[in-house]
Structure formats: C-alpha cells, structure tokens
Chain A
Amino acid sequence: SDICSLPFLAKICQKIKLSIKNSMPFKDVDSDKHSVFPTLRGYHWRGRDCNDSDKTAYPGRRPDNWDVHQDSNCNGIWGVDPKDGIPYEKKFCEGSQPRGIILLGDSAGAHFHIPPNWLTASQMSLHSFLNLPTALTDELDWPQFSGVTGFLDSTSGIEEKSIYLRLRKRNHCNHRDYQNISRNGASSQNLRKFIESLSRNQALDHPAIVIYAMIGNDVCNGKSDPVPQMTTPEQLYSRVMQTLHHLNSHLPNGSHVILYGLPDGTFLWDNLHNRYHPLGQLNKDVTYAQFFSFLSCLQVSPCHGWMSSNKTLRTLTSERAEQLSNTLKKIATSEKFTNFHLFYMDFAFQEIIDEWQKRGGQPWQLIEPVDGFHPNEVASLLLADRFWKKLQLQQPQVLGKENPFNPQIEKVFGDQGGH
C-alpha cells in the first residue's frame, strides 16, 4: 500500500519527503534555495532561479560586478549599454534601493484552497481536476496567487495586486525577489522548524520586507477542548523574540519586519453557519454548522474555537486572539534591532468586509467555500491592498521609492524573463 516502499521509487520519495519536511525546493541543483521547477516548494513559492547550476546566481542578491556578464540576481537586467558603456544594472538600479518581500506565514499566507468544483457534482467535468496534480504537489496551497507573493493573474477577476507585484511595479529591479515561507498549520511554535528555509545572505543580498503573519494557529486547533492548547501571551512573546533574533542575524541591514495581528474569527460562524456547504447544495442537506460539527467531532477541524456553535467558545477564542495581537503590538513598540525596523499592523478584517460590501459583495464571499475557514483570493488581495495603503500612508520608506528608470527597463528588457 505504501508506493514509496517500491525500490525504484524509494530515493525520489525520500527527496520529496525531505523537501516537504524542510519546506525547501525539491529541485534545486545548485542548492541556493531557488528552483526552476514550479511546485514542491519551487518558484510558485520563491523567485525562480535564472541559473540553477550557479549557486551565486539567485533572486534578491546585490549584483555581481553590476551584472556586466551575467544576471546574478535574476531580475532580468544585465549587460552593458553599448551607447555609453555603462552596465544596465548600474544605470537602472543603483540607488533605487531594491528590496525583497518575504512572508513567514501559515495556510492563509500560502493561500490554502480546495476548488469547490472538486466537490460539486453539478459543475464537475473533465477540466475540473486538471489542476489536481499541481495542487497536491503544492500541499493544496496556491502561493502563486496569494496576497503577499502572488505573481500570476488573479483568478477571481479582482483588480488588486499582490504586495510583491506592487513592489515590482514600483521598482522593476525587485523582479522575482519574493519568498513565501509559509506552511499549513504554522504557528509561533513550529515556525522554528522551517524558518531556516528563508533564503537571505546578510552580506550579499538586498534588504527585505518580512511579514510575520501567523494569523490563526496560535488559537486554532482541532481538539475537543481547544483552549488548553492555545498559545499564551507569554509564550508568544518568547517565541516571537526568538524569531526576531533569528531574523536580525540573517537580514541585511536596512530591512523591515511587520508583525501582523490575529483576526476576530467570530466572523466565520456569524456569516456561514446557516449557509449550505458545497456538499449540501444539491440536496439542501448540509449547512456549514453541520460541516463544522462533523469536523470538530472527528477532531480534524482547522479551528474548533471559531468553527463552533458554542458562542462562549467563539468569544473566548477571539479574546485570546486579541491578547496575542496586543502582545505583538507590545513587541513592536518596545523592542529594537540593529538590522531592521519593526512595525505592527492589525488584521482588520472588518475593514475588508466594509470595502467588499461597498462593492456590492457579501461577507461570506470572502471565505474559502470548501473549508469554510481560510480567507479566499479576493480577501487576500483586499488585505494586500489595505496593507499597502497603510504603509504608504504611515511608513512610506518601507516600500522604497518609485524607480524613474522603470520605463527604460521595460523598453530594454521587456518582461525581464517573466516568472
């Protein structure tokens, strides 16, 4: 029954398991943590390698000798302008303060998504499962469409772009400098198991904007009594400080770290409980209340605390979430680090709901229909929009300046090699 027990598959299975366990690219010939392969933690998750046989060439590094001979930072800009002999990287990027975007997140940040047409018989066709192999080898996450590091066009038609695409638009020298270091089930506690997969060389690379967004699993679990396992403010303080010290020893000077607060998840029950789940839409026989109850009974609920008919439990979960958000706020206002500035930002889902309703939408349309828990693509991109606007208003230096050479970069290098 275990296909990996077949001798000729044992080696590849072992490699795949290691890749998933460490959140590192499965196919990475030069071991620089960047890949030319999409899934299995490849370029769907972090900037595509432009030379997978040279470990000194990878997205995010400062250019080697102004990239006269090769594109050492994979931003598609290299060579010398024949008109004046000046290297293009020097001409177009010097002084523009390029920077990368790195997300330390959970399934929401990785954009966990199960397409509803996988479960809806009336919509099912030969095309329904074409994306299943990609989804499975990306752990049912779709980071290439996520609100922080997404680089593919939105499937929901919403015009808002990811934070990465906005940084790229602001300064084309940021091309391909994104990393989605997220994992389903991630929390302040287990981040230490995969934070090593973050790729940044303090001496050689550009500064980065790091978003710490563990938005649920510190209060979410599937236990029949979820409270004992919830993270306490003291635990969170200690763990986040460990993470920040790790970042301070890895991030290039001039970086920025943003601690993202936790949401008030009572929104889920309030807006979904009496709506039909995709499995119940045909015969009108399964509501989200029943679905949540089934998940909790099996103890496989992603968040029993908020996905519960017990109002007291939902309220308690939100209270703990708020305490943890206040802890993050306290860290951001009282702790200082040499290599990065530290900020806090609320996960103000209500503002997203208000914006969506202004556009004629319904709150339930912001949640993944199959799991009834994760923010969907629309919500993620609206959150990215709000994040960007807040920073532009309050801390514009975090985003860097508009690069006046963007049009020339486009003229000379087109799409810079794409993604």
Chain B
Amino acid sequence: HPNGHSCLGCVAVVSVIEQLAQVHNTSIQGSMERLCGYLPEKLFLKTTCDLVVHMFGSDIIKLLGAHMNADVVCHVLDFCKQDPGQPQCHLYPLPKEAWKFTLEKGRQIVKKSSSLKYPRSS
C-alpha cells in the first residue's frame, strides 16, 4: 500500500477530531481549533496543524456532519485509496449502506468544495 502510513495517520487524526467534539460537546470546527491549540509551536507543529485545517477543514466538517466516519472521510480526501485488486481497508465497522454508495455520496458532498484537488499522498 504506497500510502498506508498517510491513510493510518489520517484515520487517527480524524478520529481524534471527532472524539474531541464528542467529549467536549463542540462543533467539528471547534474541535479542530482545540486540537491545533494543544500543539506546541516548536517544529512548526501548530502552524502545520492550522495549515491542514485550512486545507481540509471545511470538507472534514461537511463529511463528519453527514455522519460519515473517519474511514470514509479519509477515502474521500484521498489519504486512503483502494487500488484495483487491493482489499478495502477500514478501521471502524463498515457503514450499513454499501461502501461504494457512501463513498460516492461523500465525493458529491465535497465536489463543490473550494479546496484543491487532493494530491494523492498529501
């Protein structure tokens, strides 16, 4: 899996964002700001976090708002990719509706997005 690590990283980060919102009963936007606020400025960590939120935040908000889980979000944002012949990798239980349908729905949601086309292994 050429982008195995970025997929793993994306699912972990989106999971934390989702769970922070749940634990503190805030919006996803608020949760992302909270997470970046926890990071030290050293090594540009907080800056990098703010940059990632700037690039992907609005789509993450839309997708999580549509009750999609971290697996779906990271596939739609192209951090996770299922190459032909490769198995479908997911951390959480699969959504009740068909995976492809969920993915397509997610892609429609972000289609209108102003964000850049996601570089594959960004």
Contact = CB atoms under 8 A, between A and B. Distances in A.
Interface string A102-116: 000000000000000
Contact of B8 (A121, A282, A295): A295
B20 A124 contact: yes
Interface stretch (B58-66, B86-94, B96-104, B105-113): B86-94
Contacts of A130: 40
Contacts, number: 79
B7 interface: yes
A290 B20 CA distance: 22
A133 B45 CA distance: 8
A135 B119 CA distance: 28
B53 interface: no
A299 B23 contact: no
B114 interface: no
A132 B40 contact: yes
B87 A128 contact: no
B38 A124 contact: yes
Interface string B1-35: 10011011001100110011011000000000001
A129 B38 contact: yes
A220 to B, nearest CB: 16
Interface string A74-115: 000000000000000000000000000000000000000000
Interface of B: 1, 4-5, 7-8, 11-12, 15-16, 19-20, 22-23, 35, 37-40, 42-45, 87-93, 119, 122
28 contacts: A1-B122, A119-B16, A121-B19, A121-B20, A129-B39, A129-B40, A130-B40, A132-B42, A133-B40, A133-B45, A222-B4, A279-B12, A279-B16, A279-B19, A282-B19, A282-B22, A285-B93, A290-B92, A290-B93, A291-B91, A294-B8, A295-B8, A297-B1, A297-B90, A299-B1, A300-B1, A300-B4, A300-B5
